[in-house]
């Protein structure tokens, strides 16, 4: 993702906000991806087809983008499988502890003026800043 510009970031953010707004207005649901995915495999959860369709759409669009613009997935940093697995577990634990993720709290919750989402977003953003600082300047990795 070497061609990121302020305009592309603004357009991407606007599209994410538009998609979240449409989902809220048409289905009365917040686009909390961790909740949608996490509850997909639980018994007795309503709207399993909706959840599966939503997650499948994310995967299909990502795969299509990879086919159409593989350079969008280029990275100069390859963490390796052990670090990627540890990072995935840490993110999973964090979304469970925070009862949501960036899409649910950061995009949808803050736009609804949820105090809980504001606190959650502030917490995970501060944690992200500290993590990047430690990884880049203390551990010495890029």
Residue spans per domain, the chain: 6-139
Q: CA angle, corner 19, sides to 67 and 11, nearest 5?
A: 70
pLDDT at 3 over 80: no
Q: Compute the 3-state secondary structure of the chain and give helix, strand, coil in percent, each to the nearest 5.
A: 75, 0, 25
| In contact, 2 and 74? CB cutoff 8 Å | yes
Q: Which conformational region is residue 140 in: left (phi greater than 0), alpha (psi within -120 to 50 degrees), or beta? A: left
- Per-residue model confidence as pLDDT tens digits over 52-103: 999 999 999 999 999 999 988 887 777 788 888 998 898 888 888 888 888 8
**pTM value surpassing 0.85:** no
The residue-averaged pLDDT of 12-37 equals 90
Asked if pLDDT for residue 1 goes beyond 60, the answer is: no
The answer to whether residue 2 scores a pLDDT higher than 70 is no
Reported as a single tens digit per residue, the pLDDT across 26-53 is: 988 888 888 888 888 888 888 899 999 9
Given this model, what pLDDT does residue 7 score? 93
Name which of 128, 105, 84, 116 is nearest 30 in CA terms: 105
The Cα–Cα gap between 124 and 134 comes to: 15
Could you tell me if 121 and 102 are in contact, meaning their C-beta atoms sit under 8 angstroms apart? yes
> Cα–chain-centroid distance for residue 18?
16
Q: What is the pLDDT of residue 142?
A: 61
As a residue count, the chain comes to 142
The confidence score (pLDDT) of residue 98 equals 86
Structure tokens at 40: 């997909």
């Amino acid at each position: 993702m070497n061609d990121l510009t302020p305009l592309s970031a603004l357009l991407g953010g606007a599209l994410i906000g538009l998609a979240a707004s449409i989902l809220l207005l048409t289905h009365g649901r917040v686009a909390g991806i961790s909740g949608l995915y996490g509850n997909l495999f639980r018994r007795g959860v309503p709207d399993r087809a909706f959840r599966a369709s939503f997650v499948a759409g994310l995967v299909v669009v990502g795969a299509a983008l990879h086919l159409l613009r593989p350079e969008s997935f280029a990275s100069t940093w390859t963490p390796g499988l052990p670090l990627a697995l540890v990072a995935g577990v840490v993110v999973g634990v964090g979304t469970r502890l925070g009862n949501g993720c960036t899409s649910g709290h950061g995009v949808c919750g803050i736009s609804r003026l949820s105090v809980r989402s504001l606190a959650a977003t502030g917490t995970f953003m501060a944690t992200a800043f500290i993590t990047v600082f430690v990884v880049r300047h203390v551990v010495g990795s890029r």
